[in-house]
Amino acid sequence: MSYIQEIRKYIGHAPMLSAGATMAVIKDGKILLNRRSDTGTWGIPGGALELGETLEQTAARELKEETNLTAGRFRLLNVFAGPDFFFVYPNGDQLYSVVTLFLAEDATGDLRVNDGESTRLQYFGKDELPPLESRAAKIMEWLTAESIV
């Protein structure tokens, strides 16, 4: 059971704060997105920090869990927080996210859905983005403004 699931047993759907990491994988000018099983929208592979993990470990773990890719090297791009990173999940859980964004500089492996959190994986150019989950949309705005995607 994850740390967040454990805390939810005590606080129910009340707002909580969570730190996490997201890994941007860019190939041929396109970014890898995962279609989320909980919302049906698309996001950037990532997730919550577990007890005792570094943000780098979280980024690497989530990338592997969600895409089967491994990044030997990655670089910190930005940290996001605030009202734009408040999210209400379909089950009613409320979360204020602090998202650390990394860029995978050498992702390798056979791309495949590895867990129940995603239903699909696909690369998209900035002009062909599908409906994004709200936090991913804000990160994509930043990535586009910085000419990373």
pLDDT tens by residue, 105-142: 999 999 999 888 899 999 999 999 999 999 999 999 99
Confidence band (pLDDT; 50, 70, 90) for 85? very high
**3-class SS shares of the chain: helix, strand, coil, % to 5:** 25, 40, 35
Q: Give the length of the chain.
A: 149
Task: Please give the pLDDT value at position 116.
Answer: 83
The CATH number for 67's domain is: 3.90.79.10
The predicted structure's pLDDT at residue 146: 95
Amino acid at 60: A
The tokens of 106 are what? 């050498």
Q: Give the number of domains in the chain.
A: 1
pTM above 0.85?
yes
Residue span of the structural domain in which 101 resides: 3-145
Confidence of residue 95 (pLDDT cuts 50, 70, 90): very high
